[in-house]
Amino acid sequence: MKEGLENGLLTEERLHDAIRRTLGLKAKIGLHNTPREEIMLPKEEALSRIASEANTEVVREVADKAITLVKDKQKDLFPVTPECYKRILLLPISGIKGGFGAMIAGNKPKAHDHLKDY
């Protein structure tokens, strides 16, 4: 946030609005009056819940549904590089029998299965 303020991407007004909303929500649910022990689970319990089979299945489902297929019709969008766009993962689908359609068809490996190599 400091860097955003310094380079002008974030205004002080926007920062103050965000802080006000965050603190307001915390006050609304009483976080400022609740001991930390009542809010936070012990580390071991939290990790066991996060790594549960049910949560892992939800993570897989979200990953599979969050894929965006982009076709470069302008011929100047690519190359998109992970160095320039940190939140983008490029996966070639040429090695997948049937291509992207087969990957999302349901009876083929899911997208997250292909991420294991990355």
Residue 115 near residue 109, CB atoms below 8 Å = no
- Model pTM? 0.35
Give 79-118 pLDDT, tens digit per residue. Answer: 677 677 777 766 665 555 655 555 555 444 555 555 555 4
Domain boundaries, the chain: 1-39
pLDDT at residue 62 in the model: 81
Confidence band of 18 (pLDDT split at 50, 70, 90): very high
